[in-house]
Amino acid sequence: MKTDQARRRLLAGLGATLGLAAAGLPLGGSASRARVVVVGGGFGGAAAARALRQFAPDLEVVLVEPSAVFRTCPFSNLYLGGLRSFGSLGHHYGYLQRRHGVRVVRSSARAVDPERRQVRLVDGTRLGYDRLILSPGIDMRWDALEGYDQTAAERLPHAWKAGPQTRLLRRQLQAMDDDGLFLMVIPDNPYRCPPGPYERAAMVAHYCRRHKPRAKVLLLDAKDAFSKQALFEQGWREVYGERIEWVGFSGDGEVVRVDANQRIVETAFGNRHQADVINVIPPQQAGYIARQAGVTDRSGWAPVKAGTFESRLVPDVYVIGDAAVAAPMPKSAFCAHSQAGVTAAAVLASLAGREPPEPAWLNTCFSLIDSDYAISISGQYRLRDGEIQEVSGGVSPLQASQEFRRREAEHARDWYAAMSHAIWGA
């Protein structure tokens, strides 16, 4: 009953984002001939491109994305756990082109010239823009954890961008001994998808329950608290018994050094852990093009004006999704999608010389514990005193029936289907 309400709210929320964006319409004459370039075709960028074209059919929208197929991080943990195929994580851009008239340029952005309002692509092409939306996601900070560079990641995968790394981690898990140790290194905040590591732990345990019955999962965390912690710890215990062990910062969980060849990690207080499979989720930063464009500060992330997500550092450049500093909104796919709608409206208003509409954002993150057991966190956000503030929200109750958890798992699947259909048409 309660979850059905939650589900209706969720699906209504997907529509509400679009309805809000529509408030920025219609466009004046000059704005309709303008060009908006969007860099990055994930949950933020692809949704922004779609929303712009939906609300301003005459606007020229160019989406720059190097991959022909976008693989989603959401549900990639389910692939690791054996609940979904790798193919089911992939989405194409044909629908955005055909149905919404977005011009998709299959290339990478190399540089931004804010003076000339141009994006330069790797092949040298220059794309002029009136407004630029960057939704580049994250890059790993290869200098942040001693011993962990791109070469090390081929032995100790991060799998924190869905793609070859995700398949590599799955292969390593499959090849692990029956009594093997799967070790995960988890960074301090902020990083992409706060509950992601803990869902991954459950999905790895799910896989092990059937295929590696004596295997253990050890989580070494640089933090003392994490998203939905009580629910995760309860779920892990209920479903997987003692299989998953979490060690936080105060328990000496902060990893300061890794040895990829020996498959050993060392903690701040000198404990060394050897494991059969090591999944290192390193500290992160905004994607390359955001740093290159000068929209990031010394934190490595992009500070934005709260109402519009226009960069605080470079005018007419907007940054959405994981790359932006949007706290208290988490770095999640749903947030990126929600920001896309609000920012599309703000961009259109700006082109038309109008004030941006009053923003409102939503977030829901589902995490699967088991194939029929999920937990969630959701939040609604508004602008208060010039800052983003959570106005309502909450997490799944700690006391709940199996039926309740089963329905949340169903909602998670509905969420993924609705979201990917809305953005990529499949």
Partner 1 sequence: MGWTLHRLAMLLAFLLLPAAVVTAEKPAWQQLDAARDWLGGEEPASGGLRIELPLVSEEGMSVPLEIRGGELGNSEAPIREIRVYALGNPDPDVLGLRLDPALGRADFSTRIRLDESQTVLVLARDASGRFLAAEQPVRVANSGCLARSDEPVDAPMGAPRVAVPDPFPGAGEPGEVRTLILHPMETGFREGPDGKPVARRIIEDFSAELDGETVLSARFHAAVSANPYLAFRLAPRADGELRLHWRDETGEEREAYREVRVGSGE
Q: Which residues form the interface with partner 1 (CB under 8 A)?
A: 188-190, 194, 223-225, 230, 249-250, 252, 268-270, 297-299, 303, 325, 327-328, 330, 387
What minimum distance in Å lies between the beta carbon of 303 and partner 1? 7
What minimum distance in Å lies between the beta carbon of 327 and partner 1? 4
Q: Which is nearer to partner 1, 28 or 328 (CB)?
A: 328
Angle at Cα 375 formed by Cα 209 and Cα 89, nearest 5°?
70
Q: Which is nearer to partner 1, 132 or 325 (CB)?
A: 325
Q: Which is nearer to partner 1, 93 or 381 (CB)?
A: 381
Paired residues of 267 in beta bridges: 255
C-alpha closest to that of 132 among 334, 351, 287: 351
What minimum distance in Å lies between the beta carbon of 298 and partner 1? 8
What minimum distance in Å lies between the beta carbon of 347 and partner 1? 24
**Cα(285)–Cα(50) distance, rounded to whole angstroms?**
26
Q: Which is nearer to partner 1, 30 or 389 (CB)?
A: 389
Tokens standing for 121? 């692509």
What minimum distance in Å lies between the beta carbon of 191 and partner 1? 10
What minimum distance in Å lies between the beta carbon of 269 and partner 1? 4
Query: What is the DSSP annotation of 226-251?
Result: -TTHHHHHHHHHHHHTTSEEEE-GGG
Q: Which is nearer to partner 1, 147 or 393 (CB)?
A: 393
Quickly tell me which residue has 């398949």 as its tokens: 167
Tokens standing for 363? 């977030």
What minimum distance in Å lies between the beta carbon of 359 and partner 1? 17
- For residues 14 and 50, is the Cβ–Cβ distance under 8 A? no
Q: Which is nearer to partner 1, 249 or 288 (CB)?
A: 249
Give residues with Cβ within 8 angstroms of 239, minimum separation 6: 202, 205, 206, 369, 370, 373
Q: Which is nearer to partner 1, 180 or 248 (CB)?
A: 248
What minimum distance in Å lies between the beta carbon of 67 and partner 1? 29
Length of the chain: 426
**Cα(306)–Cα(285) distance, rounded to whole angstroms?**
19
What minimum distance in Å lies between the beta carbon of 17 and partner 1? 21
Residue 135 DSSP SS3: coil
**Cα(129)–Cα(111) distance, rounded to whole angstroms?**
13
Alpha helices by DSSP H, listed for 29-123, are: 29-32, 45-55, 76-81, 94-98
Q: Which is nearer to partner 1, 90 or 253 (CB)?
A: 253
Give residues with Cβ within 8 angstroms of 151, minimum separation 6: 260
- For residues 95 and 187, is the Cβ–Cβ distance under 8 A? no
What minimum distance in Å lies between the beta carbon of 259 and partner 1? 17
Q: Which is nearer to partner 1, 12 or 327 (CB)?
A: 327
- For residues 178 and 213, is the Cβ–Cβ distance under 8 A? yes
**Cα(163)–Cα(167) distance, rounded to whole angstroms?**
7
- For residues 332 and 365, is the Cβ–Cβ distance under 8 A? yes
Q: Which is nearer to partner 1, 11 or 395 (CB)?
A: 395
